[in-house]
Structure 1
Amino acid sequence: MKRRRGSPPEPGCLQAWAAENRALAERWRAARCSGPGGAVKREVRQQRGSFGELLLRMQGLPAALPTLPLELTVLYNSMLFTMGASDSAIKEAAEGIHQGLLRVLEACGACGKDLSTEELWQKVLREVTVEELQAPLHRLGALQAAWWVAASRLGSTAGLFRLLSNAEDPGRARCSEGENELLSLLKAWRVPAEGASLPLVQSTEDLKEILCTATAFLQGLQELEAGNFPTALSLLQEAAGGFCSKRVLAQIYTCLGCCAQRMGNLQTALQHLKRALQVDFQCLPALSHVAAVYQELGETEAELQALALLYEALEKNPPVAASSSPHFLIRTELPVHTPILASLLRHCHPSEVKYLLARRCLQDGRVADAVEHYLDFLALLQEGLQQQVPLDGGSPLPRIPEVFLEAASALEQAGRHQDAITVCEEVISRTTDLIPRMLRVEERLQRPECPSPGTGPSQQKESLCCLAWRAAGYLHQGWAWATLGKNKEAITQFSRCLSDLLRVQMDGSGAEPAENLLPEVEVLQKIRLLSLIGRGTQFLELGRHKEALLDFQHGLQISPGDPAALPYLVEALWKLDRKPEAAARWQKFSQSSPGEDRQGRPLPLFLASCLQRAAFPRREDLARSIGDYLGTPHVDPAS
């Protein structure tokens, strides 16, 4: 390309600018060596402004070849401070690089005004052959790569490094092939030597190492998100051996642990996650994943210990925004921004961990511990709902009424029935005004194609959830009163539960298999069945056998052959002296395989205690009585 004949600045200006660049770079090195702190942050802001002013003075004159090496060096230093200032400033730096390339073409008598940045780089690197500009352009190319990696434009980055390494192959598919060969291109790129006359605030060699690590990390995350776990593992291992801070290394090991977990290599996952904590004990997301791996391994004690440590750490040291290292203006974490990384490194809130402790203790039968944790969680809610309960979609917390009902379930199992009744009353009172008088819904999984105004699927689902919570509150109260020996109060609460459920009108055959039912409808049916069993048992205790029989029959209409309801029906028939019918029912029941019980979807945890209470307690006695009546050895269907 022909050189432009222009008037370069006076030699005195060039020397003054070079001296100013040198002084600023030396001042930065001195400030950086003083260690982290507010003074260094102030120096970053001052340096950004000073380099920016110097660059403006230089670019205020027409571009000239003699000054371009210095101008591009000042641009490099200025953009380093701009990109290191904040994530949002990276775009500003990209615009600065674009302007710098236009200045190069201007000095050479060419124009690139209408070209994209990618096209501009192609034109500059192919046509500008001035030897003095090669090193500054290569440094600027490394900054451009950092911007493109941050934007996940890995194909563009690979194309740039093909040009920088003189390894362009026009026949290649740049995007897909580029992503696969990007790391090798980066490693093969020869960093230009740093001249003493044009000092840099961050060496290009360091920038190259950071780009290699960030690219491996980013590609590993992309492969992890795509489900290509072996490739993801290889790339993340490459990143772990790269150039980064301890904080980022801990994040990489955390991602390695998550990748190994998804591959089913749980012990390997634990090793990676423990390594993350050894590198940076403040990497609390790793501790959260450790608990999840222990849960998958079935090691509940270790899981609960991990959760307890996590809760303690969050209480003592709430997560704060990580401070930036002053030693490197561009760091490995700067170009790596993906949703999956944010998801894997999500910091739990103390209230979430407290809930997980409560839930896992309840599921494992550690009732006393579960009660303590649930009450602690409810106390956290009292301190301020918005502050204590995360509202993002990644939270493990269920809806708050479900937590109250789970707490009631734990209290019941701990024998604190009055407390359970009180907790349920809170749910009932808060959902009363949220349920319509009548609710018509589809029984099957498919939703109505044209819902009537104001009763769309989302509102229907919300109404069904509120109804389930309120009905479950009455159900828990019924069983609690029953345990306290208050039959009439128990019958009242069971009846209120059943009355509430009459608000729902199903559009369907009424005999859908469980797997075809809407999840909310299946929960409502189970609540109805448990309430009928509960009320029926109270009628039996009061000697009202016919009413009990009707409830059990109704329950079996809802859930034919249900192993919980059928023994109660047989007992009611027996007490009504309908022994032949009772014996026939029992024989049919005893001949059915235990494996024939319908599984369906997992039911909410807040129904666990009710399911336990509904289990028939006199199975052996009933089997013996029927066996004696028939003159045959008694057979217990459960055996």
Structure 2
Amino acid sequence: MSVTRSLFDRWAEENNNIIRKWKEYEKCRQPLQDTRKQCHAELLDLQQKIQGLPAAAGQLKLDLTVSYNTLLFSLSYSKPDEGKRLLTDSLIRVLEAVGAEVPSTDLATLWQVVLKAVGGAEHQPSIHQLLLVQWVIWLSESQFEEILPLLQQIKPKKKITPPGDLLAEIRNLTFAIQEDASLLVAMAAKDLKDLLHICTFISKGVEQLKKENYTDALLVFQEAATLSSPRALLAHIYTLTGLSFSKLGRPQSALHCNRKALEVDFSCQRALYQSSLVYRQLGNSQAEIEALHLLHSAALLHTEKEPSSTPAPLVSPDMLLGKERMAFISQTPSTVFILHTLAQRCVLNHRNSEGAECYLDLLASLQPGSRQHQIPTSGGLPFPRIPEIYLEAAFAVLKARRSWDAVAICDEVIAKTLDLVPERLQLHPPAAQQQSAGHIELSLESETIEEKLDYVLWSGAAYFLQGHAYLQLKDTKEALSTFTRAINQLVKVCIKQKHWTVNNPAETGDFQTKVMTLDALKERTLAGRGVCFLERGQLKEALRDFQLSCQASPAGCRNAEMWLVEILWRLDRKDEAAAVWKQAQKSTDSSTAVDVPLYLQTWREDATHLDCSSLNQKMEEFIHSCGVKTDKTR
């Protein structure tokens, strides 16, 4: 008996030595030494030696403590199957030690029998340590239905909770987790219980968010924020609380939660991203851009940062919440997406120089070999094709009056699309409208046609923006030539049926949008060339282009119509000018009716933009002199 006692004492000391080695590793943070792997192997070896002897009630505490430690290391390597096997073996040894019958190897059944068979205070702490490990396994696999009945078996009888309410059950939990100084553990049972407690709350809250039960989610997250948790996890909880407030239409409360998240952990990128979205919702563009700047800086730091030398904990929130939930909780766009959004918001809010610099940085980051070279391909967030980004960049530098930069950027697009633009492209109504048995073939053909249409649009838009760059440089000859090249590209597209009705827009994708973009591009390009002719004194050619510009878009364009009025007036065709002017006052401006891409939007410094105030006054005076009342004089 003394020999056996001495043997168990030696094994207890061996367990303690392994755990001391691990604690020293955690304390000193030695990344080059794979201590975790070594400790795991030594614990497996120790457990094998202990389980080589028959299970005995007197040595159950050592047996279960070594099992607990071994299980923690196994789970840290994401080995749930090994964990389940080790846990099953440990529970069977418990039943063998107390002389109880082993009903089956099913874990749920084993737990039910073990918790009834071992009710004494002596072994409860060791049993509850293993119960926490079981909770880890089921929570990481989102098996909430298994967790609830397990926890219900350890609560005091006097505490009553609503049936089926896992969170209420957790609130009333009373674990026997007293520490035994003679047997060291890799992770204190209390710390593991607290982490499980908060991660279960977060999991249930995320579940409610995904079901769009925002009020229920908010209540869960607000309670979770009162629990003890690591700083990074608490920051995520505040961010999720903010997201719930945002979904409930309470933006100020959402911003308050995001600020609290950043106070807890300034590296919480999700809080910055959510703040930028809320600021946009509130129309506070300055604060939105500031948040995007901070988010981009944080994302760059995260990308460039060396891998952390801090050893990962044996049981982490990432493990408990699972990859899918952690991806949702900490979801932020890629660095490239953030920079693109920032650049766009600057341009749209007339921060032209800032927007131009952001776009140039974006183009640099998209080059092969760049440290931030990562083009978003998933995640549900819209990201333009690369040629479109180049066109947006050209538009941005044009607004910042960096004409030669715009020319150079457009040259890149033209060079890449030169050999891809078809000689002629005939467009038919979408395949969804055609009554044909060959639906699959038509769909594939439609995709090919859309791709060819993209090439035409990109090439035409590049020439169009170059034309504006030359207009900025006062080089009307080169501008005229470049606008003509753009028109030559655009007229390669022939639309067989100009306007069709779409029964199901989802089936046609963005085909119709591209056709509308083509019309808008024709309209603006013809207007650009018309201005060139006007600058060169070629009024008849200018008149023709402005007439064609007005015809290019079904809704008409107020700017082109007013230029037409100006040309007719200069040609002394005043009655026609008055008729067009009156019609223009009633028409809808297509520049606001059509949702055109960023690179086709107009701006006040645009050389083709016409200040209509003096022209309106002149037309009103002429019409009044002819004895016809205008809307303003009635």
TM-score normalized with structure 1 length: 0.83
| Code of the aligned partner of 1:53 | D
User: C-alpha separation between the residues in 1 aligned to 2:423 and 2:196?
Assistant: 62
Q: Which residue of 2 aligns with 1:277?
A: 262
| Partner residue of 1:584 out of 579, 582, 602 | 579
User: C-alpha separation between the residues in 2 aligned to 1:497 and 1:427?
Assistant: 13
Q: Which residue of 2 aligns with 1:4?
A: none
Identity of aligned residues (%): 31
Q: Shift in Å at residue 439 of structure 1?
A: 4.2
| Partner residue of 2:141 out of 138, 146, 151 | 151
| Code of the aligned partner of 2:168 | S
Which whole-Å deviations, capped at 9, do the CAs of 1:596-639 have from their partners, x for residues lacking one? Answer: 868556332222247973865152343344334431589699xx
Q: Which residue of 2 aligns with 1:484?
A: 473
The 3-state SS of whatever aligns with 1:337 is helix
CA contact (8 A) 1:257 1:272 kept: yes
User: C-alpha separation between the residues in 1 aligned to 2:490 and 2:275?
Assistant: 42
Which whole-Å deviations, capped at 9, do the CAs of 1:324-354 have from their partners, x for residues lacking one? Answer: 667x632444301353542452466555444
User: C-alpha separation between the residues in 1 aligned to 2:451 and 2:135?
Assistant: 48
Q: Which residue of 1 aligns with 2:155?
A: 165
Q: Shift in Å at residue 266 of structure 1?
A: 2.4
User: C-alpha separation between the residues in 1 aligned to 2:594 and 2:120?
Assistant: 71
Distance 1:610 1:405, change over 3 A: farther
| Partner residue of 2:486 out of 497, 503, 513 | 497
The 3-state SS of whatever aligns with 1:330 is coil
| Code of the aligned partner of 2:487 | L
User: C-alpha separation between the residues in 2 aligned to 1:152 and 1:397?
Assistant: 32
User: C-alpha separation between the residues in 2 aligned to 1:636 and 1:410?
Assistant: 38
Matched, 1:56 2:48: yes
| Code of the aligned partner of 1:429 | A
CA contact (8 A) 2:463 2:482 kept: yes
The 3-state SS of whatever aligns with 1:518 is helix
CA contact (8 A) 2:472 2:607 kept: no
CA contact (8 A) 1:21 1:51 kept: no
Q: Shift in Å at residue 260 of structure 1?
A: 2.5
| Code of the aligned partner of 2:136 | A
CA contact (8 A) 2:471 2:479 kept: yes
Q: Which runs of 5+ in 1 are unaligned?
A: 1-9
Q: Shift in Å at residue 134 of structure 1?
A: 5.0
RMSD (CA atoms): 3.9
Q: For residues 99-138 of structure 1, what are the structure 2 equivalents within 5 Å?
A: 99-104=89-94, 110=101, 116-122=106-112, 124-125=114-115, 134-138=124-128
Q: Shift in Å at residue 27 of structure 1?
A: 5.4
Q: Which residue of 2 aligns with 1:239?
A: 224
| Code of the aligned partner of 2:12 | N
Q: For residues 371-450 of structure 1, what are the structure 2 equivalents within 5 Å?
A: 371-382=356-367, 384-385=369-370, 387-394=372-379, 398-441=384-427, 443=429, 446=432, 450=439
The 3-state SS of whatever aligns with 2:27 is coil
Q: For residues 2-41 of structure 1, what are the structure 2 equivalents within 5 Å?
A: 12-13=3-4, 16-17=7-8, 19-25=10-16, 28-29=19-20, 32=23, 35-38=27-30
| Partner residue of 1:141 out of 131, 136, 141 | 131
| Partner residue of 2:522 out of 528, 532, 552 | 528
Q: Shift in Å at residue 122 of structure 1?
A: 4.1
The 3-state SS of whatever aligns with 2:606 is helix
Distance 1:266 1:164, change over 3 A: same
Q: For residues 78-117 of structure 1, what are the structure 2 equivalents within 5 Å?
A: 78-83=70-75, 85-86=76-77, 88-104=78-94, 110=101, 116-117=106-107
User: C-alpha separation between the residues in 2 aligned to 1:479 and 1:275?
Assistant: 47
CA contact (8 A) 1:349 1:388 kept: no
Q: Shift in Å at residue 151 of structure 1?
A: 1.3
Q: Shift in Å at residue 426 of structure 1?
A: 0.6
Q: Shift in Å at residue 78 of structure 1?
A: 0.8
Matched, 1:617 2:610: yes
The 3-state SS of whatever aligns with 1:334 is helix
User: C-alpha separation between the residues in 2 aligned to 1:219 and 1:520?
Assistant: 43
CA contact (8 A) 1:55 1:71 kept: yes
CA contact (8 A) 2:31 2:309 kept: no
Matched, 1:266 2:251: yes
Higher mean alpha-carbon deviation, 454-463 vs 200-209, is at 454-463
CA contact (8 A) 1:233 1:259 kept: yes
User: C-alpha separation between the residues in 2 aligned to 1:371 and 1:477?
Assistant: 16
Q: Which residue of 1 aligns with 2:169?
A: 185
Distance 1:91 1:297, change over 3 A: farther
Which whole-Å deviations, capped at 9, do the CAs of 1:509-530 have from their partners, x for residues lacking one? Answer: 4266999662222222211221
Which whole-Å deviations, capped at 9, do the CAs of 1:80-129 have from their partners, x for residues lacking one? Answer: 1222x34x23443233223333445666575556x544344445546777
CA contact (8 A) 2:68 2:133 kept: yes
| Code of the aligned partner of 2:187 | Q
Q: Which residue of 2 aligns with 1:334?
A: 319
User: C-alpha separation between the residues in 2 aligned to 1:539 and 1:418?
Assistant: 22
Which whole-Å deviations, capped at 9, do the CAs of 1:195-229 have from their partners, x for residues lacking one? Answer: 55655333323222111111111222222232222
User: C-alpha separation between the residues in 1 aligned to 2:524 and 2:48?
Assistant: 77
CA contact (8 A) 1:628 1:634 kept: no
User: C-alpha separation between the residues in 2 aligned to 1:515 and 1:586?
Assistant: 38
Q: Shift in Å at residue 79 of structure 1?
A: 0.6
Q: Shift in Å at residue 435 of structure 1?
A: 4.0
Q: Which residue of 1 aligns with 2:212?
A: 227
Q: Shift in Å at residue 437 of structure 1?
A: 4.2
Which whole-Å deviations, capped at 9, do the CAs of 1:147-199 have from their partners, x for residues lacking one? Answer: 1111111122112212333879xxx9xxxx64xx2122123232124355655
Distance 1:43 1:412, change over 3 A: closer
Distance 1:247 1:40, change over 3 A: farther
Q: Shift in Å at residue 244 of structure 1?
A: 1.9
The 3-state SS of whatever aligns with 2:601 is helix
CA contact (8 A) 2:343 2:359 kept: yes
Matched, 1:604 2:589: no
Distance 1:355 1:599, change over 3 A: closer
Distance 1:230 1:316, change over 3 A: same
Q: Shift in Å at residue 506 of structure 1?
A: 3.7
Which whole-Å deviations, capped at 9, do the CAs of 1:288-341 have from their partners, x for residues lacking one? Answer: 433333333333333333333444445556356556667x63244430135354
User: C-alpha separation between the residues in 2 aligned to 1:405 and 1:81?
Assistant: 53
Q: Which residue of 1 aligns with 2:192?
A: 207
User: C-alpha separation between the residues in 1 aligned to 2:517 and 2:227?
Assistant: 51
CA contact (8 A) 1:304 1:357 kept: yes
CA contact (8 A) 1:101 1:120 kept: yes
Q: Which runs of 5+ in 2 are unaligned?
A: 506-510
Q: Which residue of 2 aligns with 1:551?
A: 545
| Code of the aligned partner of 1:81 | F
Q: Shift in Å at residue 476 of structure 1?
A: 0.5
Q: Shift in Å at residue 37 of structure 1?
A: 0.6
Which whole-Å deviations, capped at 9, do the CAs of 1:570-611 have from their partners, x for residues lacking one? Answer: 33444454433332232233245x6x8685563322222479
The 3-state SS of whatever aligns with 2:210 is helix
Distance 1:610 1:340, change over 3 A: farther
CA contact (8 A) 2:531 2:608 kept: no
